[in-house]
């Protein structure tokens, strides 16, 4: 399907309207943030920086940013190193290397109970694949999801770990549930092949426990993921290194922009404090009157 060709002036108008709208909206959010009484709000603000408070109301951001910046990098480096060495020796061992790093992380940060739950879920879905039952795929999906949300919480209270780690564990196990269901449905829907049971289990293990997407995605269907799992080793050329570094810098740049914006645009805190928004609307009305 060919893309529509719009006149240059029309595109320019759209860009101008979009940028102006974003700037105007951001400015109004900034003005509304000045109406906050920081002393009466509690834990929604912290870190005074040149007179500006940081919006801490987004619990997910305050949970995941330290994880992405400080906890995850050495494990990602270990994942890349191990998978590259394994791919150089034998690409057939890559799924095992990928799942090994993820299981080590789970053991270290979430405990053996979570690791046992992860392995159990993968094994159960493998057995379902051997039975070739789509109904069982969906039937077991709900109980596993409930165990992720409620069952593991009971054991978590005895581990002494933080609430932030519990959130990460909860999110990652639900991602695991999604990957197992997706892999099973795709495999059962595909034409019958001579793939051995061991290979199917290995594929499921490598796909569902792929470390870079295990915690925050993005979700990739196995049809798109599978062909790259067993690809041959490629040497790290200067171009490949530059591409990797550029992608990393882009990631860090936007993380820094988002973090800095929390000192000026209290988007998340405004959601929980309706009186501030009401006061801002009243102020606008009085100024326009």
Give the whole-angstrom CA distance, residue 119 versus residue 133: 20
How distant, in Å, are the alpha carbons of 30, 62, 254, 257 from that of 261?
Answer: 10, 14, 10, 6
**The two structure tokens encoding residue 79:** 């994942």
DSSP secondary structure string, the chain? -PPP---HHHHHHHHHHHHHHHHHHHHHHHHHHTT--HHHH-TTEEEEETTEEEE---HHHHHHHHIIIIIHHHHHHHHHHHHHHHHHH-GGGHHHHHHHHHHHHHHHHT-HHHHHHHHHHHHHHHHHHHHT-HHHHHHHHHHHHHIIIIIHHHHHTTTT--HHHHHHHHHHHHHHHHHHHHHHHHHHHSPP----HHHHHHHHHHHHT-HHHHTT-----HHHHHHHHTPPP----HHHHHHHHHHHHHHHHHHHHHHHHTTT--HHHHHH-HHHHHHHHHHHHHHH-
Predicted confidence at residue 101, as pLDDT, reads 94
Query: Is the bond leading into 259 cis (omega within 30 degrees of zero)?
Result: no
pLDDT value at residue 129: 92
Residue 285's pLDDT is what? Answer: 43
Distance CA 172, CA 161 (A): 16
Could you give the CA distance from residue 25 to residue 31 in angstroms, rounded to a whole number? 10
Distance of alpha carbon 176 from its chain centroid, rounded?
12
| pLDDT value, residue 275 | 60
- In the prediction, which pLDDT does 47 show? 67
Q: Among 213, 216, 231, which Cα is nearest to 170's?
A: 216
- The residue among 250, 180, 258 whose CA lies nearest residue 219 is 180
pLDDT beneath 50, residues of the chain: 1, 280, 283, 285-287, 289
């Amino acid at each position: 399907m060919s893309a529509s060709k719009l006149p240059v002036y029309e595109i320019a108008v759209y860009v101008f309207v979009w940028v102006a709208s974003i700037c105007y909206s951001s400015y109004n959010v900034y003005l509304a943030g000045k109406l906050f009484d920081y002393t009466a709000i509690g834990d929604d603000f912290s870190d005074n920086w040149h007179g500006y408070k940081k919006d801490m109301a987004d619990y997910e951001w305050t949970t995941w940013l330290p994880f992405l910046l400080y906890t995850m990098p050495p494990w990602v480096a270990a994942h890349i190193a191990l998978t590259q060495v394994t791919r150089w020796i034998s690409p057939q061992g890559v799924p095992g290397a990928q799942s090994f790093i993820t299981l080590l992380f789970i053991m270290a940060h979430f405990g053996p109970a979570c690791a046992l739950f992860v392995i159990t879920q993968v094994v159960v879905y493998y057995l379902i694949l051997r039975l070739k039952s789509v109904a069982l795929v969906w039937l077991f999906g709900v109980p596993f999801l409930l165990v992720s949300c409620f069952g593991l919480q009971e054991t978590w209270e005895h581990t002494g770990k933080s609430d932030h780690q519990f959130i990460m564990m909860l999110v990652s196990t639900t991602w695991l549930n999604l990957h197992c269901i997706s892999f099973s449905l795709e495999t059962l829907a595909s034409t019958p092949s001579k793939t051995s049971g061991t290979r199917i289990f290995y594929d499921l293990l490598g796909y569902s426990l792929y470390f870079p997407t295990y915690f925050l995605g993005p979700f990739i269907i196995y049809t798109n993921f599978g062909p790259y799992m067993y690809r041959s080793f490629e040497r790290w050329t200067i171009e490949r290194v530059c591409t990797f570094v550029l992608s990393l810098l882009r990631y860090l740049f936007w993380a820094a922009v988002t973090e800095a914006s929390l000192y000026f645009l209290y988007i998340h805190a405004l959601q929980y404090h309706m009186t501030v928004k009401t006061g801002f609307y009243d102020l606008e009305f009085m100024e326009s009157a």
